[in-house]
């Protein structure tokens, strides 16, 4: 799924989503990897798990108060040193799943 489609669908989801987790592979300029890691880590809902010397990062993004995960991922475009990123995993659960109408 293209990221723009993901972001569009994400904003139309019900508000009862209790878990929204995205796995993202981020490729950055190697000489800026520490700065980019710090910038991404400071974003709400973002956790950087691994950084290589070549500038590859394994990142998870979750919804945070007032910040949809998809919109946060899209904002990676604005971080100096980020060359590309790919959504490689997405999972969400709502508290409505598994419930049946009575």
pLDDT category of residue 2 using cuts at 50, 70 and 90? low
Q: How much is the pLDDT for 92?
A: 81
Neighbour-count burial of 21, counting CB atoms closer than 10 A to its CB (0-12 exposed, 13-18 middle, 19+ buried)? middle
pLDDT category of residue 65 using cuts at 50, 70 and 90? confident
Q: Indicate if the pLDDT at residue 35 is higher than 60.
A: yes
Helix, strand, or coil here: 30? helix
- Determine contact, residues 85/76, Cβ cutoff 8 Å: yes
Q: Indicate if the pLDDT at residue 15 is higher than 60.
A: no
Q: Which residue has the tokens 């997405």?
A: 90
Instruction: Give residue 60's Cα distance to chain centre.
Output: 6
Q: How much is the pLDDT for 96?
A: 56
Q: Which are the contacts of 100, defined by CB distance < 8 A and separation ≥ 6?
A: none
Alpha carbons 78 and 55: distance in angstroms, whole number: 17
Range picked from 6-10, 27-31, 68-72 for highest mean pLDDT:
27-31
* Every domain of the chain and the residues it spans: 3-7+29-93
Q: Which fold has domain 3-7+29-93?
A: Alpha-Beta Plaits (3.30.70)
What's the rounded mean pLDDT across residues 68-78?
A: 94
pLDDT category of residue 102 using cuts at 50, 70 and 90? very low
């Amino acid at each position: 799924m293209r990221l723009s489609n993901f972001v569009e669908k994400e904003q139309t989801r019900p508000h009862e989503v209790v878990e929204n987790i995205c796995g993202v592979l981020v490729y950055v300029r190697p000489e800026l990897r520490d700065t980019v890691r710090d910038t991404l880590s400071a974003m709400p809902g973002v956790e950087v798990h691994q950084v290589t010397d070549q500038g590859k990062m394994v990142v998870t993004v979750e919804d945070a108060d007032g910040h949809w995960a998809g919109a946060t991922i899209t904002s990676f475009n604005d971080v100096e040193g980020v060359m590309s990123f790919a959504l490689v995993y997405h999972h969400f659960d709502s508290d409505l799943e598994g419930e049946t109408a009575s």
